[in-house]
A and B are shown apart, each in its own frame.
Chain A
Amino acid sequence: MTRNRVIGTSVKRREDPDLITGRGRYTDDLTRPGMLHLAIVRSPYAHAVVGRIDATRALEVPGVVAVYTAADLEASGIPGVVPTAWLLPDLKTPPHPLLAKDRVRYVGDGVALVVADSRYSARDGADLVEVDYEPLQGVSNPRKATEAGAPQLFDEAPGNIAFDWELGDAEATDRAFEGAATVAKVALRNNRLIPHAVEPRAALAEWDRSAGSVTIHMTSQNPHVHRLLMSLASLGLPEHKIRIVAPEVGGGFGSKIHHYPDEALAAWCAMQLDRPVKWTATRSETNMTDAHGRDHVTEAEIALDEDGRIVGLRANTWAAMGAYLSTFAPAVPTYLHGTLLSGQYAIPAIHVHVFGVFTSTTPVDAYRGAGRPEATYIVERLLDRAADETGLDAAEIRRRNFVPPDAFPFQTQVALAYDSGNYAPALDRALEMAGYDDLLAEQSRRRADGDGPLLGVGLSSYIEACGIAPSQVVGSLGAQAGLWESAKIRVHPTGSVTVYTGSSAHGQGHETTFSQIVAEKLGLDVDQVDVVHGDTREVQFGMGTYGSRSAAVGGSAIVTGLDKVIAKGRRIAAHMLEAATEDVVFEDGAFQVKGVPDRAKAWGEVVLAAYLAHDLPEEMEPGLEATSFYNPSNFTYPFGTHVAVVEIDRETGVVRLVRYVAVDDVGNVINPMIVDGQIHGGIAQGVGQALWEEAVYDDDGQLLTGTMLDYALPRAHNLPSYELDRTVTPCPHNPLGVKGVGEAGAIASPAAVVNAVVDALFHLGVRHLDMPLTPEKVWRAMKEGGRS
């Protein structure tokens, strides 16, 4: 009899009872006796010379204990910077000090620290620190920042150019365009986004003077990476003298991957004052200091032959880096973006040119999807533009250009080798669910009759490279870290299991999903498995959670660890059963002699034997525990097709998303409910980008949308119920056959929605509109038609 499978079932998230009843403990919930509070004085100017800083009045505020500036940090002898951890050839890396010294470069750049015995006194003190600024001209648009006469942010980076990066064969691409029957173009802006994790960033730092070590509880997606960067670049303490703990973390979307000054500053203050110090960002502070996402200016074109087959694709992108290079910032518009420009299509010639540009704005870094939404947006807008120019239907032109199923593994012209894929079935299923032909007929009817809102249908056939990533590959591309993952499987004498994983969750449900993997492999109940993560003292080492990597890389590490445990169990069982190890199999929670089911030892018996060690095979160590480090051999390549259906009020331009169909292929699915949840959230974020969200800076670099009063997040009542389905093409190179799902929704949906809106307005001559598609923008486009 085979046990019911655990993998593939919607086990309820074990995380939720605490989280939804208010028992979750987040960093800001923690307090310590004698704890002080840190407030950071931040620049109100986008670009200014910093003169005298006068703390006299701040120090008079009752409760204020200390005020520090960059000079104090310097005097303490610490390295004092936050580095970038991804290097490109000729990358300009002007230092990003923990506090700005002579010059501030964005609104929010820290200039002074106020530590006080309450949050209120700290803030009162911060308001009274007097800083002399000599304002300079700022610049927020990445393309304008490269133009002659633009304000220069760093002497080391003439023209504000941090890097100039190309990929693909320029000459072959030029030739493809010369011989093309059709060329379609688009000039677009990928709007800058603010991540908005529900929990703002926070840190509580404790200094143990006797041990010479610091413990930092903080909002981290990757505690070990934070520890490494704190040690090497910020604090200068040896790595083993820093402990980082991520308690409950309320979302991140990338913003809590990066290493920022603030958490290190809290630690430095704790060390100076020998008291616990807490820093918790306010929402406004979060909005101006959490690394933003996207912010590209792109010109792209696509070339096709007479049959509507793509012969070439070309893109030039100016990607804002913001005021300093954030942790993984240089990788995002390059290796996570340029490499994805083949989409789901067999494109024989591609060339991409990216300028990374310093702007006097909040730094930009990975945000849910990180480079891949930008790439998908370019490719899928171009496919629609190509459909416009060739007269082919939007679905047909995609189908005609898909990489065919027998062409895998498929080497693209932009470095990636897609491991597996089968694109047409996902498109077909999505069209069928949407009722594509009926929708197009209804669209024509409404156009002809002139009544009812305009109807638009948009497709997005996306690809992503995730499960980040093979260490050798990323190393050769400039990553200053390996991107493997670790797991430790500790089997307790009574047979239950604790798993230590380097994938540090922040809301995704790892504890549930990983327990399912262990339960399935060992034949246990999920309740017999505990998952420990997010503490550098408990967990060996780990790379963290981002890039849709936790199941594909972290989960695979758990599987290889389980394999080691099972292998040892088989040797013990063979010994107990007086059989050869090769003849013993582990199935349904028991070790048995192959083909002889009654010669078997239960899991519990074997585990106990390992710990009793009364009679183990010769030279075998007692105990049952295994550590594994899993290094993937390739990225994984989830894909799918999404269909957005919009209605547009003809008088006001208000866009209503009326239906959203998503067919995704994320390989094998461990917990369908959790996977659907990831898709749901990702779609909401992508629709938010398409319709509402934008971090708006004025020309001088003042953030005009710094609060939730101005920055428009998607809300439940603005979204339809999604219609979801899946195809399953397992990943061939990891033991679970999983690909990752965390970013798919956010990658696919902006293009689907924009394509739908442009489709609705097509008969008026509209060929492109930039996100967000505010009612006013749409209204103007309707008025001006093709002139827009």
Chain B
Amino acid sequence: MVPSAFDFHRAGSVDEAIELLGRLPDAKLLAGGHSLIPMMKLRLAQPGAVIDIGRIQELSGVCRDGDVVSVGALTRHGEIAASEELRASCPLLAEAAGKIGDPAVRNRGTLGGNIAHADPASDLPAVLIAVGAVVHLAGPEGRRQVAARDFFVDLLTTALDPAEVITRVDFPVAAPGTGQAYLKHEHPASGYAVVGAAASVTLSGGRCTAASLAFNGISAVPHAADEVVSGLVGGTLDDASLASVSSLLSVRDPLGDVHASGEYRVELARVYGRRALASARDRASG
């Protein structure tokens, strides 16, 4: 790899990271490095300084408090996928994290880096939207929280200020009777999501009390498919009803590349959305 020159700093704490970010021009945080370094290698990113946050203990780990489970920004995809706590309380996140890249990527890449980078083909953004997660940020002005739906602003663009650090993401613990599923159509070259469908449904007495569905890959920001699931509450989620709502998916300006056009991605999303909902339903009742 032949990046352009940069200064290297290691932050010992979140406060120090914020201070460095504010002080150094063109500085970038370095977490797992699995998005930033490839960009630097191609010289698509040429930060003047790189601030390594990889050893800040307080940023890492999974911790449940009542009906919220907090995941530190530095928690690796592999840890998330393997976490017993998350597999019970937010199985959608664990499943999606387990489908990222390959073991090497999952052992380095982090939750915070993944959402900060906001690649539309990433696997985690739609999960945050589907379950209604809340992103916690710390910056020179103090701390704040942003709902997932407001966090992703555009292609590779988030609500994060340049001097802010993502500290953790809070996920609501899945209610009893909830089933979740993440289905992914892998990009044949990159392994990222051409389409990733994140579904969560809650059943009570055979009837749907809550349903959500969101997609990676098909649009600049993750698509919250409210138009699909809004009619499901109160129903039994039989195959016929899932098939009929999945056709309601409507995406403006879908993304496309040489492997999959926008039109095809939307079609894939209809199929994967329906299958993800059906799988979530089966897990909920099972």
Q: In the assembled complex, which residues on chain A have CB atoms less than 8 Å from the CB atom of B2?
A: 119-120, 123, 282
Nearest CB of chain B from residue A691's CB, rounded to whole Å: 8
Q: In the assembled complex, which residues on chain B have CB atoms less than 8 Å from the CB atom of A282?
A: 2
Given contacts A120-B2, A652-B185, A652-B271, contact A710 B190 (CB under 8 A): yes
What is the bound-complex CA distance between A317 and B264, given in angstroms? 32
Contact bitstring B262-273, A, C-beta under 8 A = 1, else 0: 001001100110
Are B5 and A120 in contact, CB atoms less than 8 angstroms apart?
Answer: yes
Chain A residues within 8 Å of chain B by Cβ, number = 28
Nearest CB of chain B from residue A282's CB, rounded to whole Å: 7
Q: In the assembled complex, which residues on chain B have CB atoms less than 8 Å from the CB atom of A713?
A: 189
Q: In the assembled complex, which residues on chain B have CB atoms less than 8 Å from the CB atom of A127?
A: 4, 43
What residue of chain A has the Cβ atom nearest to residue B272's Cβ? A652
In the assembled complex, B238 has its CB within 8 A of some CB on chain A: no
What is the bound-complex CA distance between A654 and B271, given in angstroms? 12
Are B185 and A776 in contact, CB atoms less than 8 angstroms apart?
Answer: no
In the assembled complex, A692 has its CB within 8 A of some CB on chain B: yes
Give which listed residue, A284, A652, A708, A776, contacts B259 with CB less than 8 A: A776
Are A710 and B257 in contact, CB atoms less than 8 angstroms apart?
Answer: yes
What is the bound-complex CA distance between A712 and B187, given in angstroms? 8
Q: In the assembled complex, which residues on chain A have CB atoms less than 8 Å from the CB atom of B188?
A: 691-692, 712, 774
Give which listed residue, A124, A694, A704, A774, contacts B4 with CB less than 8 A: A124
In the assembled complex, B42 has its CB within 8 A of some CB on chain A: yes
What is the bound-complex CA distance between A775 and B258, given in angstroms? 12
Q: In the assembled complex, which residues on chain B have CB atoms less than 8 Å from the CB atom of A707?
A: 42
Contact bitstring A753-784, B, C-beta under 8 A = 1, else 0: 00000000000000000000011100110000
Nearest CB of chain A from residue B61's CB, rounded to whole Å: 30
Are B5 and A712 in contact, CB atoms less than 8 angstroms apart?
Answer: no
Nearest CB of chain B from residue A694's CB, rounded to whole Å: 8
Most chain B CB within a 10 A radius of its CB, from A284, A711, A775: A775
Are A776 and B189 in contact, CB atoms less than 8 angstroms apart?
Answer: no
Given contacts A120-B2, A124-B5, A774-B188, contact A705 B43 (CB under 8 A): no
In the assembled complex, A73 has its CB within 8 A of some CB on chain B: no
Q: In the assembled complex, which residues on chain B have CB atoms less than 8 Å from the CB atom of A712?
A: 187-189, 259
Q: In the assembled complex, which residues on chain B have CB atoms less than 8 Å from the CB atom of A709?
A: 189-190
Are A710 and B189 in contact, CB atoms less than 8 angstroms apart?
Answer: yes
What is the bound-complex CA distance between A712 and B188, given in angstroms? 5
Q: Name A105-143 residues within 8 Å CB distance of B.
A: 119-120, 123-124, 127
Q: In the assembled complex, which residues on chain B have CB atoms less than 8 Å from the CB atom of A691?
A: 188
Nearest CB of chain A from residue B262's CB, rounded to whole Å: 11
Are B271 and A651 in contact, CB atoms less than 8 angstroms apart?
Answer: yes
In the assembled complex, B204 has its CB within 8 A of some CB on chain A: no
What is the bound-complex CA distance between A555 and B238, given in angstroms? 67
What is the bound-complex CA distance between A711 and B189, given in angstroms? 5
Q: In the assembled complex, which residues on chain A have CB atoms less than 8 Å from the CB atom of B107?
A: none
Are B268 and A284 in contact, CB atoms less than 8 angstroms apart?
Answer: no
Contact bitstring B243-267, A, C-beta under 8 A = 1, else 0: 0000000000000011111001001
Q: Name B134-192 residues within 8 Å CB distance of A.
A: 185, 187-190
Q: In the assembled complex, which residues on chain B have CB atoms less than 8 Å from the CB atom of A708?
A: 189-190
Q: In the assembled complex, which residues on chain B have CB atoms less than 8 Å from the CB atom of A724?
A: none
In the assembled complex, A696 has its CB within 8 A of some CB on chain B: yes
Contact bitstring A678-711, B, C-beta under 8 A = 1, else 0: 0000000000000110101000000011011111
Nearest CB of chain B from residue A118's CB, rounded to whole Å: 9
What residue of chain A has the Cβ atom nearest to residue B188's Cβ? A712
Q: Name A604-619 residues within 8 Å CB distance of B.
A: none
Q: In the assembled complex, which residues on chain A have CB atoms less than 8 Å from the CB atom of B185?
A: 652, 654, 775
Give which listed residue, B43, B189, B257, B268, contacts A652 with CB less than 8 A: B268
What is the bound-complex CA distance between A696 and B2, given in angstroms? 25
Q: In the assembled complex, which residues on chain A have CB atoms less than 8 Å from the CB atom of B261?
A: 776
Q: In the assembled complex, which residues on chain B have CB atoms less than 8 Å from the CB atom of A780?
A: 264
Are B258 and A710 in contact, CB atoms less than 8 angstroms apart?
Answer: yes
Q: In the assembled complex, which residues on chain B have CB atoms less than 8 Å from the CB atom of A774?
A: 188, 259-260
Q: Name B1-23 residues within 8 Å CB distance of A.
A: 2-5
Q: In the assembled complex, which residues on chain A have CB atoms less than 8 Å from the CB atom of B189?
A: 692, 705, 708-713
Q: In the assembled complex, which residues on chain B have CB atoms less than 8 Å from the CB atom of A711?
A: 189
Nearest CB of chain A from residue B263's CB, rounded to whole Å: 9
Are A284 and B42 in contact, CB atoms less than 8 angstroms apart?
Answer: yes
What is the bound-complex CA distance between A710 and B185, given in angstroms? 15
Nearest CB of chain A from residue B141's CB, rounded to whole Å: 36
What residue of chain B has the Cβ atom nearest to residue A62's Cβ? B5
What residue of chain B has the Cβ atom nearest to residue A119's Cβ? B2
Q: In the assembled complex, which residues on chain A have CB atoms less than 8 Å from the CB atom of B264?
A: 775-776, 779-780
Q: In the assembled complex, which residues on chain B have CB atoms less than 8 Å from the CB atom of A692?
A: 188-189
What is the bound-complex CA distance between A38 and B186, given in angstroms? 38
Q: In the assembled complex, which residues on chain B have CB atoms less than 8 Å from the CB atom of A694?
A: 258
What is the bound-complex CA distance between A110 and B35, given in angstroms? 29
What is the bound-complex CA distance between A520 and B191, given in angstroms? 47
Are B260 and A776 in contact, CB atoms less than 8 angstroms apart?
Answer: yes
What is the bound-complex CA distance between A123 and B264, given in angstroms? 40
Nearest CB of chain B from residue A737's CB, rounded to whole Å: 41
What is the bound-complex CA distance between A167 and B185, given in angstroms? 46
Q: In the assembled complex, which residues on chain B have CB atoms less than 8 Å from the CB atom of A779?
A: 264, 267
What is the bound-complex CA distance between A692 and B2, given in angstroms? 29
What is the bound-complex CA distance between A53 and B228, given in angstroms? 57
Nearest CB of chain A from residue B5's CB, rounded to whole Å: 7
Are A696 and B258 in contact, CB atoms less than 8 angstroms apart?
Answer: yes
What is the bound-complex CA distance between A247 and B94, given in angstroms? 46
What is the bound-complex CA distance between A569 and B86, given in angstroms? 75
What residue of chain B has the Cβ atom nearest to residue A654's Cβ? B185
What residue of chain A has the Cβ atom nearest to residue B3's Cβ? A120
Are A775 and B42 in contact, CB atoms less than 8 angstroms apart?
Answer: no
Are B4 and A775 in contact, CB atoms less than 8 angstroms apart?
Answer: no
What is the bound-complex CA distance between A120 and B2, given in angstroms? 6
Q: In the assembled complex, which residues on chain A have CB atoms less than 8 Å from the CB atom of B190?
A: 708-710
Q: Name A171-206 residues within 8 Å CB distance of B.
A: none
Nearest CB of chain B from residue A363's CB, rounded to whole Å: 22
What is the bound-complex CA distance between A284 and B1, given in angstroms? 11
Q: In the assembled complex, which residues on chain B have CB atoms less than 8 Å from the CB atom of A696?
A: 258
What is the bound-complex CA distance between A705 and B188, given in angstroms? 12
Nearest CB of chain B from residue A113's CB, rounded to whole Å: 16
What is the bound-complex CA distance between A696 and B258, given in angstroms? 8
What is the bound-complex CA distance between A120 and B229, given in angstroms? 52
What residue of chain A has the Cβ atom nearest to residue B256's Cβ? A776
Most chain B CB within a 10 A radius of its CB, from A654, A712, A780: A712
What residue of chain B has the Cβ atom nearest to residue A774's Cβ? B259
Can you show 30 pairs from A to B with CB atoms below 8 A apart? Answer: A120-B4, A123-B2, A124-B4, A124-B5, A127-B43, A282-B2, A284-B42, A652-B267, A652-B268, A652-B271, A654-B185, A691-B188, A692-B189, A694-B258, A708-B189, A708-B190, A709-B190, A710-B189, A710-B257, A710-B259, A712-B187, A712-B188, A713-B189, A775-B260, A776-B259, A776-B260, A776-B261, A779-B264, A779-B267, A780-B264
- Listed in ascending order, the chain A residues whose CB lies under 8 Å from chain B are 119-120, 123-124, 127, 282, 284, 651-652, 654, 691-692, 694, 696, 704-705, 707-713, 774-776, 779-780
Q: What are the 3 closest A-B residue pairs judged by CB atoms, nearest first? A: A712-B188, A712-B189, A776-B264
- Listed in ascending order, the chain B residues whose CB lies under 8 Å from chain A are 2-5, 42-43, 185, 187-190, 257-261, 264, 267-268, 271-272
Q: Name 12 extra pairs, CB < 8 A, besides A713-B189, A776-B264.
A: A120-B5, A692-B188, A705-B189, A708-B190, A710-B189, A710-B257, A710-B258, A710-B259, A712-B189, A774-B260, A775-B260, A776-B261
